[in-house]
């Protein structure tokens, strides 16, 4: 994905029209249309502002990576949340959990809830069996 495609994707995810996005940055709708249609590129200052506005890394905005956050940002978020940090430690040590997450990462909310229900049924059966 290139910059123009990524910009359009992020704008739509945020529910913004071209006009609203242009207003946010005090630019014309035509300017942002040119960015999204790959006719022009923003200067570095606007690129940085856009990345901050959409809360993504510059590399993600430019289409150089599929990771929205930098490794440092991810570490910072994880370190601020003790429960998340513990979970990350467990997952990083277990290949089976990594495989499981790879399999379910693209599930929609309904499928995730169904999967959680199945896990809860299995847990209950294990508890009943061990009693």
Band of pLDDT at residue 66, cut at 50, 70 and 90:
confident
> What CATH number corresponds to the domain at position 42?
1.10.260.40
- pLDDT tens for residues 36-60? 999 999 999 999 999 999 988 899 9
- Residue 15 included in any domain: yes
Give every CB contact of residue 70 below 8 A, 6+ residues apart in sequence: 57, 59
Integer Cα distance of 19 and 30 in angstroms: 9
Closest CA to 21 of 49, 1, 59: 49
Computed over every residue of the chain, the mean pLDDT equals: 89
Quote the number of domains for the chain: 1
What are the percentages of helix, strand and coil residues in the chain, rounded to 5? 75, 0, 25
- The model's pTM is 0.58
Task: Determine phi and psi for 39, rounding to 5 degrees.
Answer: -90, -25
Q: Is residue 118 part of a domain?
A: no
**Domain assignment present for 58:** yes
Does residue 34 form part of some domain? yes
Residues of the domain holding 20? 3-62
Q: Is residue 38 part of a domain?
A: yes
Is 99 among the domain residues? no
Q: pLDDT, tens digit, for every residue of 89-111?
A: 888 889 998 898 888 888 888 98
């Amino acid at each position: 994905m290139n910059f123009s495609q990524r910009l359009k994707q992020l704008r739509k995810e945020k529910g913004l029209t071209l006009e609203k996005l242009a207003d946010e940055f005090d630019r014309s709708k035509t300017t942002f249309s040119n960015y999204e249609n790959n006719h022009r590129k923003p200067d570095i200052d606007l690129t940085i502002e856009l990345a901050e506005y959409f809360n993504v890394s510059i590399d993600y905005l430019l289409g150089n990576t599929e990771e929205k956050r930098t490794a440092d940002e991810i570490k910072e978020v994880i370190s601020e949340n003790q429960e998340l940090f513990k979970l990350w430690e467990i997952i990083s040590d277990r290949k089976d959990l990594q495989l499981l997450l790879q399999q379910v990462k693209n599930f929609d909310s309904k499928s995730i809830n169904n999967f959680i229900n199945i896990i809860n049924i299995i847990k209950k059966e294990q508890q009943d069996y061990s009693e």
